[in-house]
Amino acid sequence: MHEQIAYAEIDSWREKLEKLALAIWEHPEGPYREEKACEWTAQLLREAGFSVETGVGGIRTAIRASWGKGKPVYGLLGEYDALPGMSQKVCTHKEAVQEGGWGQACGHNLLGVAHVGAAIGLKKALEQSGCEGTVVYFGCPAEEVLTGKAFMARAHVFDGIDFCAAFHPGSMNDVNFGTATGLNSFKLHFKGRTAHAGGDPHNGRSALDAVELTNVGINYLREHVPTTVRMHYVITEGGVAPNIVPDKACAWYFVRALTRELIDEVYARVLDIARGAAQMTGTELEVEFLGGCYPTLNNRVLGEVMYDALCKAPREPWSKEELEFAAQLNGNKDLPEPLHTGVVKFESDTFGSTDVGDVQHIAPGIAFDTACCNMGAPGHHWQITACSGHSLGLKGTIYAAKAMALFGLNVMENPEILEKAKKEFEEKTAGKPYVCPIPAEIPVPNQD
């Protein structure tokens, strides 16, 4: 095993890796607008000797960086996009850098860089061991709108990979054996007719009524779908004044479920309800499909190898200052420790979504987390933005990079692992080949 070479290489690049993570933190960019993150990440990978292509799959901010030769091909799934309204300083009380601005409240500045670190460490270890194989870093945009990887998959960017790893910064060190839901994201636009709401309402056809009746219908539908289905909405347009019958209204929906089949089935029923609402109100319905993603398909064989890697990869202890920072963020929450120190297997299903599922339906893969924020941090929260710009987040990132390098080496140097992982993958996907949930005619957003 050549993991010590990988660890030493990651350590020698550590300053540059941390600088990149902090630069992305300081310049948070939204989905499909990650120009700087993409440029800086590509630059570092070029410097490290990778053959780098940006704009892959017709997506300006997507990267494919590869090194090595032959099989197996190891895919590392990096991300870098930020969240709106999540700007926050590195401190233990809520204070924005820029009020209402973007922020790394999901820690994707750490996420992308950990995969870069793993790729760089692994390259060195493979160079010295002479072991055959190819390491590919994928810079995947727009995870926060859950469509980046599906658009990349539609363009066949992930074709040819044999296995993949997806790290996410979290509040614990854990390997995910459960399933995270997939989803469809879509807008229901209704078009009616304006009229004076008091004077001649009989001449009006209310688009807002159609939105409300759709939502009422879907709220009744909840009783007749499996309890694992999630349907949620916001009304993005609902008229301009109470005395004008609204001629335009819109609701934006997510439908989530643990299988693609169930997503499609419930989606069809939701559209029937919307059509019914249009009929009831004399309005017209236009469905704008924004995208979709697969549920995750974490591979158990690879999960065990990743668990082992997380237990063995070197990890620096938390400093007193880091523990205090985390404890202050946790406040009076009753927690076993301010920052996680163990390694756990996470078996339960989760009801958020990630587009990592799309890639995991193309090749066997595993998702895992390392502790990069306080244990009590809620998801998509200013506390995560704070930790993602702090040394504790960077520590979790370097640990993740080393674990992913060790995991990759284990799989590449022991072909029987991949054989077993592929067998499991084939059994789970038999008769259900990956079909991109985003139809060919839908353009990638923000490419102007």
Q: Which two tokens stand for residue 14?
A: 């550590």
Please select the residue that binds Zn ion; options are 42, 106, 125, 373, rule is CB under 5 A: 106
| Nearer CB in complex with Zn ion: 111/297 | 111
Span near Zn ion by CB under 5 A; candidates 104-112, 254-262, 407-415, 417-425: 104-112
Q: If DSSP codes are grouped into helix, strand and coil, which group holds residue 15?
A: helix
Span near Zn ion by CB under 5 A; candidates 84-92, 101-109, 115-123, 398-406: 101-109
| Nearer CB in complex with Zn ion: 52/377 | 377
Q: In the complex, what is the shortest distance from the CB of residue 42 to Zn ion, in angstroms, rounded to a whole number?
A: 21
Q: In the complex, what is the shortest distance from the CB of residue 278 to Zn ion, in angstroms, rounded to a whole number?
A: 36
Is residue 148 within 8 A of residue 141, CB to CB? The reply is yes
What is the Cα–Cα distance from 105 to 85, expressed in whole angstroms? 9
Nearest to 158, CA basis, from 76, 81, 79, 80: 76
Q: In the complex, what is the shortest distance from the CB of residue 94 to Zn ion, in angstroms, rounded to a whole number?
A: 20
Size of the residue set binding Zn ion (CB under 5 A): 1
| Nearer CB in complex with Zn ion: 281/353 | 353
What is the Cα–Cα distance from 129 to 148, expressed in whole angstroms? 35
> 129-142 b/e with 16+ CB inside 10 Å = b?
beeebbbbbbbbbb
Rule CB under 5 A: which of 138-197 touch Zn ion?
none
Q: In the complex, what is the shortest distance from the CB of residue 55 to Zn ion, in angstroms, rounded to a whole number?
A: 23
What is the Cα–Cα distance from 268 to 260, expressed in whole angstroms? 12
Please give the residue whose beta carbon sits closest to Zn ion in the complex. 106
| Nearer CB in complex with Zn ion: 106/372 | 106
Q: In the complex, what is the shortest distance from the CB of residue 367 to Zn ion, in angstroms, rounded to a whole number?
A: 11
* Residue 45 interacting with Zn ion (CB under 5 A): no
Q: Which two tokens stand for residue 273?
A: 């309800």
Q: In the complex, what is the shortest distance from the CB of residue 309 to Zn ion, in angstroms, rounded to a whole number?
A: 21
Count CB-CB contacts under 10 A for residue 409: 24
Instruction: DSSP letter for 139, please.
Output: E
Span near Zn ion by CB under 5 A; candidates 80-88, 90-98, 106-114, 388-396: 106-114
| Nearer CB in complex with Zn ion: 106/175 | 106
Residue 73 bridge partners (DSSP): 134
Is residue 214 within 8 A of residue 251, CB to CB? The reply is yes
| Nearer CB in complex with Zn ion: 167/267 | 167
Q: In the complex, what is the shortest distance from the CB of residue 377 to Zn ion, in angstroms, rounded to a whole number?
A: 13
What is the Cα–Cα distance from 171 to 410, expressed in whole angstroms? 26
| Nearer CB in complex with Zn ion: 283/383 | 383
Q: In the complex, what is the shortest distance from the CB of residue 388 to Zn ion, in angstroms, rounded to a whole number?
A: 11
What is the Cα–Cα distance from 176 to 240, expressed in whole angstroms? 46
Q: Which two tokens stand for residue 306?
A: 């990743």
Span near Zn ion by CB under 5 A; candidates 99-107, 178-186, 379-387, 420-428: 99-107
What track of x and - describes contact with Zn ion for positions 237 through 276 (by CB under 5 A)? ----------------------------------------
| Nearer CB in complex with Zn ion: 106/398 | 106
Span near Zn ion by CB under 5 A; candidates 103-111, 191-199, 224-232, 430-438: 103-111
Q: In the complex, what is the shortest distance from the CB of residue 108 to Zn ion, in angstroms, rounded to a whole number?
A: 6
Packed helices 35-47 and 14-26: angle between N→C axes, nearest 10 degrees? 170
Burial class for 418, CB neighbours closer than 10 Å (0-12, 13-18, 19+): buried
Q: In the complex, what is the shortest distance from the CB of residue 44 to Zn ion, in angstroms, rounded to a whole number?
A: 21
| Nearer CB in complex with Zn ion: 3/144 | 144
What is the Cα–Cα distance from 22 to 107, expressed in whole angstroms? 11
Q: Which two tokens stand for residue 346?
A: 């996470």
Span near Zn ion by CB under 5 A; candidates 64-72, 102-110, 182-190, 357-365: 102-110
**Over the Cα atoms of the chain, what is R_g?**
23
Q: Which two tokens stand for residue 2?
A: 């050549």
Burial class for 16, CB neighbours closer than 10 Å (0-12, 13-18, 19+): middle
Q: In the complex, what is the shortest distance from the CB of residue 40 to Zn ion, in angstroms, rounded to a whole number?
A: 19
Beta strands in 97-173 (DSSP E): 133-140, 163-170
Q: Which two tokens stand for residue 424?
A: 């499991």
| Nearer CB in complex with Zn ion: 106/218 | 106
Span near Zn ion by CB under 5 A; candidates 98-106, 147-155, 286-294, 423-431: 98-106
| Nearer CB in complex with Zn ion: 117/239 | 117
Rule CB under 5 A: which of 23-42 touch Zn ion?
none
Residue 322 bridge partners (DSSP): none
The residue ranges that bind Zn ion (CB under 5 A) are 106
